[in-house]
Amino acid sequence: MTSFQRRSNADSTPPPVFEEYLDAEAVTRVEKLLGYTFTNRRLLAEALMHRSFAGEQQTAASYERLEFLGDAVLQLAV
């Protein structure tokens, strides 16, 4: 099993801090609108978490790591 598979199979429960602000019904409506079901809500929470909020709430996860990964993938493609 690769490290990516281990990470994607990890607990997909959103971080507790984000859970307070995450409206499950709103996420479900967005999923229906997009036609996509998020399989890992922890990554969704990380993708939406701004660094200033993450620092304020003392959580390590913010969108910057995913942003860097996305930029690297786009640079490879171009």
Q: Is the dihedral of CA 12, 41, 39, 43 positive or negative?
A: negative
What pLDDT does residue 59 have? 57
pLDDT digit string, tens, across residues 44-62: 777 777 776 655 555 556 6
| Domain of 25, in residue numbers | 3-77
Residues near 31 by Cβ (< 8 Å), separated by ≥ 6? 37, 38
Distance CA 31, CA 73 (A): 24
Considering its fold, how many domains does the chain have in total?
A: 1
What pLDDT does residue 45 have? 75
Residue bearing the bigger pLDDT, 34 or 15: 34
